Amino acid sequence: MSPLTSPSRRFVLLDRDGTMNVERHYLSDPDQLELFPGVGRALRRLQDQGFGLAVLTNQSGIARGYFDIATVARIHQRLQAMLGAEGVRLDGIYLCPHGPDEDCACRKPRTGLVDQAVAEHGFDPRRAFVVGDKAVDIDLGHAVGATPLLVRTGWGAKAEREASCAPAVVVDDLAAAADWIERSVGTEKNQEIGSP
């Protein structure tokens, strides 16, 4: 088994809009994709430590007719190019194209997108981290047994104020989430070394 599909490899599962990039109302223009400061550096640090990186995104604008799947593909090509310029390679981008009234298995907080990522990469979702700015991201993390982190970017500050979800931790942004994940994993390793 390749180390890229090893169950021991840990993953960080990332929401897109409001977490990695500035929230736009139904982003439909690749030129309007704007990463938050520090996102590339943060993901590069996690990647360098061996984490897999996958994006999980609800894109109901497709079902609503605001844009098509080809437009989303162009946005994701630009996302990968922007991250690639900082030495980051995503392991996958998984999207739900359905509307909230469709009874699909993939719209967060349902677990279909995680199931797809696990099928492709063979990791244990209970050892993963889910980072997002909405209650659906945090609820997804709980649903698969992962550690959910809420960022205050995008809709995150509102979710924190409303106490609409129960994250393991609330952090300012994705860079702070990466710091927390690094510390968390370092603490786990120290406990394993110190155990009899």
DSSP 60-93: TTTTTTSS-HHHHHHHHHHHHHHHHTTT---SEE
- Residue 143's contacts (CB-CB under 8 Å, 6 or more residues apart) are 109, 110, 111
Kindly name the residue from 17, 133, 137, 173 that is annotated as catalytic. Answer: 17
- Which distant-in-sequence residues (6+ apart) come within 8 Å of 44 by Cβ? 86, 87, 88
Q: Residue 161 CA to chain centroid, in angstroms? A: 21
As given in the structure block, the two tokens for residue 185 are 């994993």
Q: Is 17 a catalytic residue?
A: yes
Do you find a cis peptide bond into 109, omega within 30 degrees of 0?
Answer: yes
Question: Is 103 marked active-site?
Answer: no
Using DSSP, state whether 12 is helix, strand or coil. strand
Q: Which residues form the catalytic set?
A: 15, 17
